[in-house]
Structure 1
Amino acid sequence: MEVEDALKLVGEFGRCQIFLCILLAVVLQLYVATEVVLIAILGVTPPYHWVYDPLTTSGGHNASEEQRHLHFEGNFTSISSEWSLVDAQAYKVSAASSIFFGGVLVGVVSFGQLSDQFGRKWVYVTGLALDIVFSLVNAMSPSFPVFLGTRFMVGVMNGGMSLVAFVLLNECIGATYWALVGSLSSLCFALGIAQFALIGFFVRWWRLLALVVNVQGAAILLLSLWIPESPRWLYAQGRLQDARDALLLLGRLNRSKPKPFALTPRQKDSGASRSKILSICRSAVLRRRTLLMMWAWFVCSLVYYGLTLSTGDLGGNIYFNLALSGLAEVPAYPLCMYLINHKSCGRRRTLCGFLSLGGVSCLIIMAAPGQRGWWSSQTFSLLGKLCISAAFNIVYIYTSELYPTTVRSLGMGVCSMFSRFGGIIAPFVPALRSVWWVLPYVVFGSSGVTAGLLSLLLPETLNCPLPQTLSDLQVSTYHCLEEEESCLLREDAAQAEPGMGAEVSSEEEEEL
């Protein structure tokens, strides 16, 4: 018996999986979101003006010179007011965001390989613990260089451990629930943005705000010590007894009494290294999928964080704008979850639709300068945020289904790595307004449309069996295509006339 069949015996989504879902898909994502968008509040510049103090030079000279002093107003503090990051120094705030995403880039690649080699659970738990430690040091930074350094390390741990947690959760539940859990994770990330805006509204001192958000992370860490290891990873490693014990633990926690079972040993991949990037490069199927998904991930990150981190440009209350930016994503996830599971849409067409519509929404902003009401730049900006959020949710689910278990975490890490390049560039794209006010939206719109069209070259994975090893890829893809074509033939035969339907069906079946 393979691990997929054994998981059905112990329960694909029982009490234990519901707890893991709440912990890793709900509470953890609320915490991760606060760390990702932390600079959206910490980097806001309070109202300020320059105060000129005349000073008389020493040394007997009668000449005098003026020295400027910054005076900040408002009822909150930020890193801008702490270290005077204004005017010529204002670029350092965007640099802090880019450095964080640079750390995330390092984290998703390194943690992906580490979790493929040493297991999901302890790599995730270690990363979460270090994430909290570096976040605390970041909140108490005595200087801006120290803030940048610790911000980079927070990005490494935050990006790496959240990726491994997503893989761990998916590998502990039935594959039919992956889309549901993935959509729930993305939904809670959006709610985490709104939650952070609410916390920031009441906590106006930036150091205290950076400390308060880690209380949630500490509680998650304590609960994470008791979660099981991924049975799919153990099975892919050939540790059959450990995989069986992990499955039985899930069964006990689910309060189910499965029949006795034994896991069937699997043959190792010939000539493929299970935990190295070369495994992906050697496979023509994986190489094609990886290149296409890397561009999709890059565009999703570029547009998503570009629109999120520029909420201050909307004018008005920064806390309200940030909360609205997060809440605008909420309708995307139930709609996305419905479409990707509908046979007429699936993963591929839904991803293409949301990426293209998000890009078109950003391009329409060029035709709505200064407009008010529903035909305004704010309306289409939020529509673009909704569409790109749905696309971001789909690429997580879609990518995890395109890779076999032996390199799934690594494959997602490679694709996620390229998305972080988008995150690194995103804080600087709004600065293109100084060249032409619509140029940022031209960048967002054109990249979204191209990514949407290229996604049509990917295979459909809806209702397809998940590959366990590299050798399963060709077989899995063949059976999935065969099943899809058979379903289409049956539908055509049912819609045709009785006599003609039987004749067409038999001819097509002979060709297959």
Structure 2
Amino acid sequence: MSSYSSQLEHLIEDLGGCGLLQKLLCTIIHTSSTVTVWSMLAMSFIGYDSDFTCHTLDVKLTTLSTLNLSELSTHRLCSVGQNTTCSSYIFSNSMDTVVSEWNLVCDRQWTVAFITSIQMVGVLLGSIIAGQMADSIGRKPTMLTGFTTMVVFNFVGYFMQSWQTYSVVRFFIGIGVGICFTVQFPLMIEFVPPLWRPLVVCIPAEPLICILYAVVAWWLHDWKRIHLLKTLIGTFFLMILW
């Protein structure tokens, strides 16, 4: 007696093989991964340090006699010794990132790596739970769950007022990314004949989307606008996936 998987493969072949439904499904999933890939790569631009100079230098009175301000360069200046520190900064106007939004330089420089790590913890958690979800409720509901999570929290990220709350947002975005990355390929290949599966998987959609993200980041120059753009694109694909 043939197995269930082989029966399913024969059924797909009898229904027409790789027909219009399969081609539409693969096209939608590959193009909708724009939101997934951009969310994964977001911190490469959103956390970029666009260069800064020290605007306000706090100097204790005991150091005034030994500090020659005329010879001091303020470019990327964080402190001069233990008693002289920079308290405010001027960032380059070339782009707006979370670094310039919340002054994540000098003693806060570690924060960008921390936010990225929090997102990757979310990706790990999403990847772990996606397998169980897909077997329990199906590939498509799981894909919709992850995609909705990304869209909602990309929209929420636009309104964040501190890097602490933004870290929480990136954690949930990471969960959505992990879920979508785990189920998107099984969702496609389960509906196409075995002969077409290598081709479906090998379509270089994600590298092209990575290149597109670089172009979009250069065009918008604003981390909040990128969040809004991902929300709009994600909402469009959510309506199609539903």
Q: Same fold (TM over 0.5)?
A: yes
Which whole-Å deviations, capped at 9, do the CAs of 1:370-401 have from their partners, x for residues lacking one? xxxxxxxxxxxxxxxxxxxxxxxxxxxxxxxx
Residue 107 (structure 1) aligned to one of 98, 121, 126: 126
Q: 1:206 aligns with which of 207, 223, 238?
A: 223
- The alignment partner of 1:69 has SS state of strand
* Cα distance in 1 between the residues matched to 2:113 and 2:57: 30
Alignment of 1:177-196 (within 5 A): 177-184=196-203, 187-196=204-213
Equivalence for 1:14: 19
Superposed counterparts of 1:247-258, under 5 Å: none
Q: Name the CA distance, whole Å, in 1 between partners of 2:195 and 2:210.
A: 28
TM-score, normalising length: structure 1: 0.40
Q: 1:35 aligns with which of 36, 39, 48?
A: 39
1:90/1:8 CA distance change after superposition, 3 Å: same
1:222 has 2:239 as partner = yes
Partners of 2:155 and 2:182 in 1: CA distance: 21
SS in 2 for 1:38: helix
Count, aligned residues: 215
| CA deviation after TM superposition for structure 1 residue 221, in Å | 0.8
- Alignment-derived partner of residue 407 in structure 1: none
Task: Quote the Cα distance in structure 1 between the aligned partners of 2:91 and 2:201.
Answer: 43
Indicate the residue corresponding to 1:94 in structure 2. 113
Q: Which residue of 1 aligns with 2:51?
A: 47
Percentage of identical aligned residues: 22
1:172-229 Cα distance to aligned partner (Å, 9 max, x none): 1112211111111xx111111111111111111211122112222111111111xxxx
Question: Is there any run of 5+ residues in structure 2 with no aligned partner, and where?
Answer: 62-83
CA distance in 1, matches of 2:139, 2:223: 34
- What is the CA deviation profile of residues 449-488 of structure 1, one whole-angstrom value per residue up to 9, with x for unaligned ones? xxxxxxxxxxxxxxxxxxxxxxxxxxxxxxxxxxxxxxxx
Distance 1:107 1:54, change over 3 A: closer
* Match runs of 1:491-510 below 5 Å: none
2: CA distance between counterparts of 1:157 and 1:116? 17
Structure-2 separation of matches of 1:211 and 1:153: 16
Distance 2:185 2:237 in 1: 14
Tell me whether 1:122 sits opposite 2:127 in the alignment: no
* TM-score using structure 2 length: 0.83
Alpha-carbon RMSD across the aligned residues, in angstroms, is 2.0
| Superposition deviation, residue 12 in structure 1 | 2.1
Structure 2 distance, partners of 1:4, 1:52, is: 69
**How far 1:162 moved relative to its partner?**
3.0
CA distance in 1, matches of 2:240, 2:221: 30
* Amino acid across the alignment from 2:96: T
State the structure with bigger RCO (CA 8 A, min sep 6), 1 or 2: 2
Structure 1 residues without counterparts, runs of 5 or longer: 58-64, 226-512
Q: Provide the residue aligned with 2:8 in structure 1.
A: 3
Any residues of structure 2 matched to 1:468-487 within 5 Å, and which?
A: none
Matched residue SS, 2:17: coil
